[in-house]
Chains A and B, each alone.
Chain A
């Protein structure tokens, strides 16, 4: 563990996934917090409701995750005071990117996925690297299990390339229930082979009627 005095980060493991639909967005993350080969806790939420149409899932170093969430929540409060309304998901996406790049030379060790509904009510997912490079996509996975999950999502969701012209919709034609089932399946699969993923998966679904949350058990080994 942190015996080196020049290494201030820790990888707490875990995986996040998000899928955008035509009128919904599914964001999911496991609830295991680990260090090295140990588990700190089996019930840790990596998901934060930033706005009523915008949810952030973060994997990586949870100390930085907590600080980042608090930072964004405070900025959102200021925005609400000034504009008298909630931030839209694309606006929050840009804010998150700027916040991450602000610490370009001492980064937040976080791998983020932002999910929600855009101003047209369509699902949107934004995926980030640690220093704020981001892109709007139809689906994404981040964290220790991402390498196991992304190929499966690529296969199932067949998202068109963003380089195509005319621009094709990135959101999946899957229904909300099908997308949630897919998320449950990919988490169950990642849990099998990734030691840092397991215990429970917290699934959050945003649609026109609001935000709902469900928990599913995963293997605990």
Chain B
């Protein structure tokens, strides 16, 4: 009831000490198509669901290469995401120009977070309506960050954002402790699996998801659709015969019964 009185302006506090416009911006992220990120000690994988508004149109780009060692996946207002990606790319190029070395990931996410914060404290602006999963690799190792419209950022081992992301988060919560030791291929497989969880019954094909990876000896790049289809096929085979197949996928069969959360 009280929300409506204090939610017109981003610079108006509510009596409970909340900025509703910022919270509404975070809602916009939850409405976007799902995006997941996972990291091991040497690799980071990002995967997104390609949602097209109609059968006639193409899907929007949600994964952007920022530099050889950094990539982002977005969820929410994709236009805001595109603009922020351009900002991130510029920051990386300028840093590399001056310092002849890649921009450390933690510094990039701080700049992004500060940029988002500005929009929460100017009456003539609005917060960015997009959440970014920033995957990067620098001297301190592999990193996965989540940047909110609020200007906050958090580091994660694995995370999922967007619509129906809770299903993916539940899946990741069960497995994340072993991610650090995962091989590159295991990480990709789990990312595809997490995306499958968000689809909740819809058929998973390589056309409906985009997967990108970066690693110690691997610049950030999108994985070819054919390879993704092969991974999807191998997951489906394992689901049909869960008992006797590869030992490390022992949970593959049981995840068919994963709780269908929000």
Contacts and interface: CB of A to CB of B under 8 A. Distances in A.
Interface of A: 70, 74, 77-78, 81
Nearest to A70: B97
A74 B65 CA distance: 15
B89 A81 contact: yes
B208 interface: no
Interface residues of B, number: 8
Nearest to B100: A70
A66 to B, nearest CB: 10
A81 B97 contact: no
A124 B90 CA distance: 31
Interface string B49-93: 000000000000000010000000000000000000010011001
Interface of B: 65, 86, 89-90, 93-94, 96-97
A77 B91 CA distance: 12
A74 B96 CA distance: 9
B97 A74 contact: yes
Contacts of B86: 81
Q: Is the interface of A mostly helix, strand, loop or mixed?
A: helix
A92 B249 CA distance: 50
B165 to A, nearest CB: 27
Nearest to B96: A74
A156 to B, nearest CB: 40
A78 B97 contact: no
A207 to B, nearest CB: 25
Contacts of B89: 77-78, 81
Contacts of A77: 89, 93
A117 B86 CA distance: 30
13 contacts: A70-B97, A74-B93, A74-B94, A74-B96, A74-B97, A77-B89, A77-B93, A78-B89, A78-B90, A78-B93, A81-B65, A81-B86, A81-B89
Listed from nearest, the 4 A-B pairs whose CB atoms lie closest are: A74-B93, A81-B89, A74-B97, A77-B93
A78 B87 CA distance: 11
Contacts of B97: 70, 74
Contacts of A81: 65, 86, 89
Contacts of B96: 74
A70 B96 CA distance: 10
Contacts of B94: 74
A112 to B, nearest CB: 19
Nearest to B66: A81
Contacts of A74: 93-94, 96-97
B261 to A, nearest CB: 37
Nearest to A77: B93
B81 to A, nearest CB: 14
A70 B86 CA distance: 19
A15 B94 CA distance: 31
A199 B94 CA distance: 35
A173 B96 CA distance: 42
Contacts of A70: 97
Given A70-B97, A81-B89, 11 more contacts: A74-B93, A74-B94, A74-B96, A74-B97, A77-B89, A77-B93, A78-B89, A78-B90, A78-B93, A81-B65, A81-B86
